[in-house]
Amino acid sequence: MYMLFHDVGTLSDSELLRQEFIKAIPGALITAIGALLALWVGKRVSHFWAVRQKQRELELTVLNEFYGLYGEFISLRRLWNRHKEQTSKGSSTPGNQTFLEKAADIEARMEGLLVKLAAERKLSSIPPNENDIDNLGLLRQAFQSLREKIRDDEVMEWGRSDHPQYVAFKSLSSKLATILLSDRNDERPSADDAVNQIKGITDNRHEKRWDNIK
């Protein structure tokens, strides 16, 4: 009789232990799943910030390159005008060709920068929001205008700070810098969108728009 009750007591303890173990399983699973989820999220967040940091470094590199181009453009314009003061119109000198080559180099590097921007950033093109496409198209035209003036052996008349085209050039340059510094859009454009943005920036309509700024 004692053995019978002893076995029953033992079975009861085992059953109780089994039930407690079963109760503990969901909590353990939740803890394990939570740990795995936290690890996955942590890796995703770390990857996101690593990519974002790399992207910002590249954008700042582009921004510094643009600052350099801006300075080279202003310097070359002043030197060209100074050169024209010392030579007569229509006189073909070795200096003219040197100026033309420098202007073409600045324009080409600016073109490359705009293509890079159009391929890597979603740009606005719909009023009433800031129209990035039109602004960048005008800025491209501004950089092109110096080469055209040198080619035509003409002074670039931005002699005063309130000259309309000079004001536009400074304003458009500031807007490009703002785009590069902005975190408003981390999503890259699709291949088709990038092509359309590049086409919009390089459209010939901007030439007339730039000439109308007087």
For the chain (214 residues), the mean pLDDT of every run of 10, in chain order, is 46 64 69 75 63 67 92 96 80 81 97 92 72 95 96 89 94 92 73 94 95 92
Is the alpha carbon torsion for 157, 158, 162, 168 positive or negative?
positive
- Residue 99: the pLDDT is 95
How far is the C-alpha of 16 from the C-alpha of 135, rounded, in Å?
76
- Residue 87: the pLDDT is 81
- Residue 8: the pLDDT is 46
- Residue 17: the pLDDT is 61
The distance from CA 120 to its chain's CA centroid, rounded to whole angstroms, is 6
Q: Where are the alpha helices (DSSP H) in the chain?
A: 2-85, 94-120, 132-151, 164-181, 191-201, 205-211
How far is the C-alpha of 159 from the C-alpha of 41, rounded, in Å?
58
Query: What's the DSSP call for residue 157?
Result: -
Closest CA to 159 of 69, 102, 81, 76: 81
Is the alpha carbon torsion for 99, 100, 101, 103 positive or negative?
positive
- Residue 28: the pLDDT is 67
- Residue 111: the pLDDT is 96
Residue 201, burial from CB neighbour count under 10 angstroms (0-12, 13-18, 19+): buried
How far is the C-alpha of 197 from the C-alpha of 118, rounded, in Å?
6
Amino acid identity of residue 109, one-letter, is R
